Structure 1
Amino acid sequence: MERAVRTWLTQLDVERGVSAHTLAAYTRDARRYVAHLAEQGITAPGDVTELHVSGFLASLRAGDDEHPPLAATSAARTLVAVRGLHKFLALEGETAHNPAQDVAPPAPPSRLPKAIGRDEVTRLIDAAGVGDGAIPLRDQALLEVLYGTGARISEAVGLDLDDLDLDIGAARLLGKGGKERVVPLGSYAVDAVRAWLVRGRPELSAKGKAGPALFLNRRGARLSRQSAWEVITTAAGRADLSGHVSPHTLRHSFATHLLEGGADVRVVQELLGHASVTTTQIYTMVTVDQLREVYAQSHPRAR
């Protein structure tokens, strides 16, 4: 194994010209891998099986006396080196197959989406509407639509006038993969959009070729995703929320607040336009965490 590793590293250095940093990382990973195999009595490349590779991956995650446990991303990077080594050996005819090719990397931990509270949402939307003229009306309507429908920013700026039915309170969103969905539009969003359409949009549409776009920029063209992002960050700064708000914050808050209010996760899935309910279930982790916090603070036997 040690000879095979030396040959592979030489090939990476001389023929493929990888960076010194990458070569050093692969050298470190390979040495740890060879040491692990030696502990299992494996010294020849042809004796390595998929079970040995997956066992090495498990040892990375668990750690030992000399090494702390590796995070999923670091262990996955080490697996890339091991796969590269065995792929090289298989291509060179040193082994009959690559025992690492079907070993799956560890899944990274689910990142909890960042949501803000109901009062903070109100502060954010109110801050967007500060001032006179068309722009505050547009900005407040945009944020009301984002929070009222759970739309992605790209879906919101992609709205056309005929995608909304303000009489019944509904919006047609064009999601990923060109999939359409119809979502309810609450009274706050309806009122904000009406105000924008009556008192704001005509002023901006007169400056350019507005076309069917619902939300317009200062030149009368369709509002871009980047400009919509700036609307949110500007409002967040005014509301003292700049450290907590990202372009997806209102979408995350929409989902979290629905689940907190008792909505079924599959209903939230449909509203968000997720293909799988598994994607939506990450929001249930947020509400469970909040339940634990309330429990710990309130129950006499929790501490």
Structure 2
Amino acid sequence: MLQEAVDAYLATLAERGAGINHHTVAAYRNDLSQFSSFLEQKRLRRHWSEVESEDVQAYLEEMRQVRAYQPTTISRKLAALKTFLRHLKSQGLLERNLLETVQAPRALRTTFPVLSAEQLACLLEQIPPFTPTGMRDLAMVQVLYATGMHLTELVALDVSCFNRLYGSLVYPRSDGRLRECPLTSQAIMALEQYLLRSRPYLARRHPEEPGLFVNHHGRRLTRQGFWLVVRNYALRAGIAELTPCQLRQSLMLLAIKRSSEPQGIQALLEYAHLSRGAGQSERWGASEGDDSLLKRG
């Protein structure tokens, strides 16, 4: 009975769209299913109407003591649970908010590890600018730098999203609305070179593929595929650990560093956390030539 309510709630989110993507729904499913499994394994409750604040507190202690989760992970799971319990209350399945007396852990303020200017320059130097995959990878980096979009959005782009006339990308957001992102001149040039000289070769087996960025099989590049590409370049550059998210954050920080109006670029990117960027800015120094890192191709 517990899991059935979770499944029904997630189905409702998926049907309505609710402004969240399938990755968020999958995370909700994992977090909520973990709590319902905890209740069933402990034989605490069989119905959500029977759940008490003490059950949530016991779950919190298990995450802290037994599973040794980080405060940020616990806070995320409690946030998902809070949203779900609010839904149950609105449906009349709960009489009160069960999280009223539950103390969420205070997340430690951590600095997101980004690449230094030297590391980023070395990484970009590993991308061969005149090979089919190299032109593709340079175009992807330029788009990330120009727009700050998430990686799931990057690999979801279609060829039709590129508006050559206005030099922008137009694509649907998670809430269904269209978003237009202006591109830098370097990004426009990189995309045009990729579409003219690289993509026709990569997509020769599947010319009907709508995806903007394709792999060597001619199919849309996946997020995992992009991660493998980034990791390969990172290893060549002597960077032991690097994720696509770190690359995105590093490029966003460079864009913020080069912007004379940080609030303006925040509005452009929509995702930028300027307080985090400000805390990292000293890693980039005060050189006027930082932007030259992206002037390739």
How far, CA to CA, are the matches of 1:173 and 1:258 in structure 2?
21
Q: Which residue of 1 aligns with 2:181?
A: 183
The question of whether the paired residues in 2 share the 8 Å contact of 1:210 and 1:220 is answered with no
Quick one: distance in 2 between partners of 1:250 and 1:75? 26
Q: Does 1:151 align with 2:149?
A: yes
What is the rounded CA distance, in whole Å, between the counterparts of 2:150 and 2:195 in structure 1?
A: 21
Q: CA deviation at 1:123?
A: 2.7
Q: Residue 269 of structure 1 aligns with which residue?
A: 266
Q: Find the counterpart in structure 2 of residue 231 from structure 1.
A: 229
2:280 to 273, 282, 286: 286
Letter in structure 2 aligned against 1:239: A
1:181 counterpart SS class: strand
Aligned mates of 1:207, 1:155 — CA distance in 2: 24
Cα distance, 1:178 vs structure 2: 3.7
Q: Alpha-carbon deviations, 1:250-275, whole Å to 9, x = none?
A: 3212332233334444323322233x
RMSD of the TM alignment (CA)?
A: 4.2
CA apart distance, 1:290: 5.2
Q: Distance in 2 between matches of 1:207 and 1:167?
A: 28
Q: Shift of residue 204 of structure 1? A: 2.0
Q: How many Å apart are 1:191 and its aligned residue?
A: 2.1
Mapped contact 2:142–2:190 kept (Cα < 8 A)? yes
Distance 2:258 2:134 in 1: 30
The one-letter code of the counterpart of 1:284 is A
1:143/1:101 CA distance change after superposition, 3 Å: same
Q: 2:111 aligned with 1:112, yes or no?
A: yes
Q: 1:145 to 1:126 in 2, by over 3 A?
A: farther
- Show the counterpart of 2:244: 247
* 1:254 partner SS: helix
**CA shift for structure 1 position 285:** 2.7
Structure 2: segments with no counterpart, 5+ residues = 1-38, 46-57, 63-69, 79-95, 287-297
The answer to whether the 8 A contact 2:72-2:108 is kept is no
Structure 1 residue 260 corresponds to structure 2 residue 257: yes
From 200, 215, 218, the counterpart of 1:217: 215
Matches for 1:160-175 after TM superposition, within 5 Å: 160-175=158-173
Structure 1 gap ranges (5+): 1-10, 18-25, 31-70, 80-96, 295-303
Q: TM-score, normalised by structure 1?
A: 0.57
**In 2: Cα distance, 1:285 partner to 1:150 partner:** 18
Q: Aligned equivalents of 1:186 and 1:248: distance in 2? A: 21
Taking a change above 3 Å as real, the CA distance of residues 144 and 246 of structure 1, as seen in their structure-2 partners, is same
Task: Give the letter aligned to residue 279 of structure 2.
Answer: M
Letter of the aligned partner of 2:175 in structure 1? G
Distance 1:258 1:198, change over 3 A: closer
Check whether the contact 1:157–1:223 (CA below 8 A) recurs between aligned residues.
yes
Is the CA contact (8 Å cut-off) linking 1:268 and 1:280 kept in structure 2?
no
Q: Is the 8 A contact 2:145 2:251 kept in 1?
A: yes
Structure 2 letter corresponding to 1:248: C
Residues 1:252 and 1:133: Cα distance change in structure 2 (over 3 Å): closer
Q: Separation in 1 of the partners of 2:147 and 2:97?
A: 49
Calculate the TM-score normalised by the size of structure 2: 0.57
Return the offset for 1:127. 1.3
> Who wins on radius of gyration, i.e. which is larger?
1
Q: State the alpha-carbon separation in 2 of the partners of residues 232 and 267 from structure 1.
A: 29
Deviations 1:197-250 (A, max 9, x none): 11111112221154322111122121111111111111111222233x211123
What number of residue pairs does the alignment pair up? Answer: 215
Offset at residue 136 of structure 1 (A): 2.0
- Provide the C-alpha distance between the structure 2 equivalents of 1:14 and 1:118, rounded to a whole number of angstroms: 51
